[in-house]
């Protein structure tokens, strides 16, 4: 299997760039992105572009998010060791690997993917990179969350929702944080949501973004 010969150096330069540009402002997120081999999470034909700051196709109309978006969402999420995290939209498994680096052996990442072939692709990638023990890949309607392991310390949604899905709010711990793009099918605002002890929500808006749609009962129709 071919990999670029300078992956560690390319990764370090990319992380430095993301810090400099203000996308990567959480120490745990920065250290995780320095350790996760992104080249293991992209299709073979795109491996030479693994450390370009661009989204890349992974098949089935889906993409692996651009590194700056992974950095921004993970920084806002403020994941810490021992956290239990729910991810909606597994894709290639890269974001789950970054989260798994942070939560460590004491935490866990549950990630839901609706496309069976991508779920299998992500499992292979996570196993090859050594993260499968910290990550559980599930198939299903991510807009419903995964109530079996709720409540979660953190929830991250890597697909665009028309509104904040109520099941995800219900599955977030009081004091927990959710990061989700909300808007229409073509443009969204990245929302950072904090759940107050009384169950109310504090919502902060970040930048505009463009994600593939969240498909499901609390997302978009196919």
Walk me through the domains of the chain, giving residue ranges and CATH numbers.
7-209 (3.40.50.150)
pLDDT number for residue 149? 98
pLDDT number for residue 6? 67
139 exposure class (CB count in 10 Å sphere: 0-12, 13-18, 19+): middle
Residues counted in the chain: 222
pLDDT number for residue 1? 42
User: Which of the residues are catalytic?
Assistant: 65
If residue 33 lies in a helix (H) or strand (E), which one and from where to where? helix 27-35
- With a CB cutoff of 8 Å and minimum separation 6, the contacts of 117 are 59, 60
110, 136 contact by CB (below 8 A): yes
pLDDT number for residue 3? 46
pLDDT number for residue 81? 98
C-alpha dist (Å) from residue 157 to 8, 86, 90, 110, 129: 28, 8, 9, 12, 22
Sequential pLDDT tens for the chain (222 residues): 444 446 889 999 999 999 999 999 999 999 999 999 999 999 999 999 999 999 999 999 899 999 999 999 999 999 999 999 999 999 999 999 999 999 999 999 999 999 999 999 999 999 999 999 999 999 999 999 999 999 999 999 999 999 999 999 999 999 999 999 999 999 999 999 999 999 999 999 999 999 999 999 999 986
Give the DSSP letter of residue 18: H
pLDDT number for residue 221? 86
Name beta bridge partners: 136: 110
pLDDT number for residue 57? 93
């Amino acid at each position: 299997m071919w990999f670029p010969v300078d992956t560690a150096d390319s990764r370090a330069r990319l992380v430095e760039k993301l810090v400099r540009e203000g996308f990567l402002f959480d120490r745990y997120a920065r250290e995780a992105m320095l350790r996760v081999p992104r080249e293991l999470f992209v299709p073979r034909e795109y491996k030479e572009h693994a450390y370009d700051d661009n989204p890349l196709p992974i098949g089935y109309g889906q993409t692996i998010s651009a590194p700056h978006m992974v950095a921004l969402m993970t920084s806002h999420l403020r994941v810490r060791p021992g956290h239990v995290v729910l991810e909606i939209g597994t894709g290639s498994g890269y974001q789950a690997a970054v989260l798994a680096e942070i939560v460590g052996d004491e935490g866990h990442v549950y990630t839901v993917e609706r496309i069976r072939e991508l779920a299998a692709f992500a499992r292979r990638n996570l196993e090859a990179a050594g993260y499968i023990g910290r990550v559980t890949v599930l198939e299903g309607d991510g807009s419903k969350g995964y109530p079996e392991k709720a409540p979660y310390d953190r929830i991250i949604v890597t697909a665009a929702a028309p509104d904040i899905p109520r099941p995800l709010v219900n599955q977030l711990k009081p004091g927990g944080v959710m990061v989700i793009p909300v808007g229409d099918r073509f443009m969204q605002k990245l929302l950072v949501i904090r759940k107050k002890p009384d169950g109310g929500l504090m919502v902060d808006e970040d930048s505009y973004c463009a994600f593939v749609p969240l498909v499901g009962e609390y997302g978009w129709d196919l």
